[in-house]
A and B are shown apart, each in its own frame.
Chain A
Amino acid sequence: MTNRRMLWRVAAVVFIGAAVIALRPRRQQQARGTANERLNAAESPRVDSAAVAAALSRRLAEARPPLLRSDEWALVSRMYRGAERASVPVPLWGGVEQIQRRGGELIATLAAADSFGLAPDDTRSAISRAP
């Protein structure tokens, strides 16, 4: 494996780890909250789905990530509303646990893209550039 590919994988793993740490303490606080503060969404039992939808709306209204072209960013917005054009954006990756698990799946898939000629360090991945 080349150094570049190795570096990419390390960066990706670091990001996922950081995301998990960022989410964990808030999850604990949330778990101690009142029933009204708990979520009713199936995807995540601990985060308010309306708050997530609002946060998604805010994020989608902000600047596109540098790895995407404007047409791709518009497509991302459409993906959150689905073919049925929901009035509010719905998370694609589920709640906290699913994000951790499926984020790992995505990283593995991006890394495997090298096998069909889309090298991970070439796939415009912003994962390594995540905050």
Chain B
Amino acid sequence: MKRAAGTGDATTLAQADVLLTANFVALLDDMLLGRVDPRKVVRAWHIAPSRVAAERRVMAAAAALRAGKAIAEIVKELRPDYGVGTPLMAGLARYRAIADSGGWKRLPPGPTLRRGDSGSVVVALRKRLATEGFTSTGPESDRFDDELLATVAAFQSRHGLAIDSVVGPATRQALNVSVTHRIAQIEANLERLRWLPADLGERFVVVNIPAFSLYGYVGGERRLTMRVVVGDEMTSRRTPIFADTLEYVEFGPYWNVPRSIAVNEILPAARRDRDYLRRNRFQILRGWGDNAPVVDPRSLSDAALFSSRYRVRQLPGPDNALGRVKFIFPNDFNIYLHDTPSKLLFESADRAHSHGCIRVADPQALAEFVLHDRDDWTGDRIASTLQSGRRVQVRPTDAVPVYLVYLTALVREGEVAFRDDIYDRDDSLIRALRARARTVGKS
């Protein structure tokens, strides 16, 4: 049968149209949902990008496309940024340029370097720092002088290391991470941004686990920054990645001891020393309900003490493990934010020491941030309530979203900064991204 005039054109046009759309959708899908499924890379990653929300945004992009909007503009508006993406992109370009110029050389093994040292290794250190953009007097000087001291401190600060201007094992290890790995690390963290919800909310809290930091944002601006202590490297104690909403603040809290901590730490101590519980203000309760009766531990055998019929809680007070306040966002992991009586850990550069919950350095500031819409809960009232130890629960008028995230490449003062991959999650993601690229190449 003879084809109608114009059908050939129409077919070619339609095929070209669909081909372009398919590429457009592939790009948007990767950009809005990530190139790999987070749950297939990290079991403890529980923030899932919303496919429904992504599809809604793609449909809006189609309308913009049909209206003639520039494609680059459409993509820019959809690209996850959160105030981090653009500086990370700039950093990615910079580190790629460094790689194209040959990267940096590893520092040779050797003793700790500090002010006053001299020699070829100091020249190598200067070159290494200068290649990454940390400038000092120049590679020709072989003396570890005051200027190099400041440069090493700047490097340590950018990498979340203890700032002592001494090139010891940790600093040397960070210096010897290749530029190729830094590039892959930035790419992996851009992928992690794609796993976050598009809209984080007007007022929200973010805890970046490898940075040991908590941030409060309002309208996209950071209003609050504080140090936190997160779960340690043991698999069972790692702080999980998830999002929830902070529903209430509890002043003067009890600590309902998780069974694993009770069985492994508290009760063995009580078995050795029955007075341990009293001295540390622990109670034994029969049952898990709110009205469970308190029982005298001296009336219980060891077997009964360890039985799951009983639970352990610590009374409110200055030595309570949760400190003077806890911030509750009910979740399946029994993770919350709380104060702590152990303030010294906040001075440490490595703050992965908890059983998974997150200890905050400035609970007063966090309480004020969360309860900002409660006019009756002024800063003074919060301060006096913290001081009193009185047990009281306060709900913000609007629940505040909390995001526990894991970003090892971040932005500080406009520059890319790196953090130690405390839970060993970078390499698996980098491998997954590369595997994905290979799969594509084969298709």
Contact = CB atoms under 8 A, between A and B. Distances in A.
Contact of A93 (B20, B187, B443): B20
Given A83-B63, A99-B17, A127-B19, A55 B10 contact: yes
Contacts of A75: 25, 55, 58-59
B261 interface: no
Contact of B70 (A39, A83, A105): A105
Contact of A119 (B20, B26, B70, B437): B437
A96 interface: yes
Interface residues of A, number: 67
A58 B72 contact: no
Contacts of B24: 106
Contact of B18 (A44, A60, A124): A60
A91 B6 contact: no
B441 interface: yes
A127 B21 CA distance: 11
Contacts of A30: 5-6, 9
A118 interface: yes
B179 interface: no
Contacts of A80: 21
A118 B17 contact: no
A14 interface: no
A54 B30 contact: no
A55 B66 contact: no
B31 interface: yes
Nearest to B79: A116
B30 A124 contact: yes
Given A116-B190, A121-B441, A124-B440, A92 B72 contact: no
Interface extent on B, as a size class?
A: 35 or more
A60 to B, nearest CB: 7
A68 B22 contact: yes
A66 B19 CA distance: 11
A43 B65 CA distance: 13
A71 B25 CA distance: 11
Contacts of A11: none
B15 interface: yes
B22 A93 contact: no
A52 interface: yes
Contact of A102 (B10, B29, B71): B71
B426 interface: no
Nearest to B56: A83
Contacts of B63: 82-83
B186 interface: yes
A19 B92 CA distance: 34
Contacts of A22: 12
Interface in A109-124: 109-110, 112-113, 115-119, 121-124
B440 A122 contact: yes
Nearest to B100: A1
Contacts of A58: 11, 14
Nearest to A55: B14
A92 B62 contact: yes
B186 A117 contact: yes
Contacts of B70: 105
A64 B22 CA distance: 9
Interface in A79-97: 79-80, 82-83, 90-96
Taking each of B21, B25, B55, B191, which has the highest tally of chain A beta carbons within 10 Å of its own beta carbon? B21
A9 interface: no
Contact of A72 (B16, B25, B441): B25
Contacts of B51: 71
A79 B23 contact: no
A79 B62 contact: yes
Interface in A37-58: 37, 39, 44, 46-48, 51-52, 54-56, 58
Nearest to B440: A124
A23 interface: yes
B31 A118 contact: yes
Given A47-B13, A54-B10, A121 B5 contact: no
A59 B18 contact: yes
Given A37-B6, A92-B21, A113-B27, A26 B12 contact: yes
Contacts of B190: 116-117
Contacts of B59: 75, 78-79, 82-83
B68 to A, nearest CB: 8
A54 B249 CA distance: 61
A126 interface: yes
Interface pairs A-B: 5 shortest CB-CB: A55-B14, A51-B10, A117-B190, A79-B62, A117-B187
Given A23-B12, A92-B21, 7 more contacts: A33-B5, A48-B6, A55-B13, A115-B93, A117-B190, A118-B31, A123-B23
24 contacts: A37-B6, A44-B13, A47-B10, A52-B17, A55-B11, A56-B14, A59-B18, A73-B22, A75-B25, A76-B18, A82-B63, A83-B63, A92-B62, A95-B13, A99-B17, A105-B72, A109-B71, A109-B72, A110-B23, A115-B89, A118-B31, A123-B27, A126-B19, A127-B23
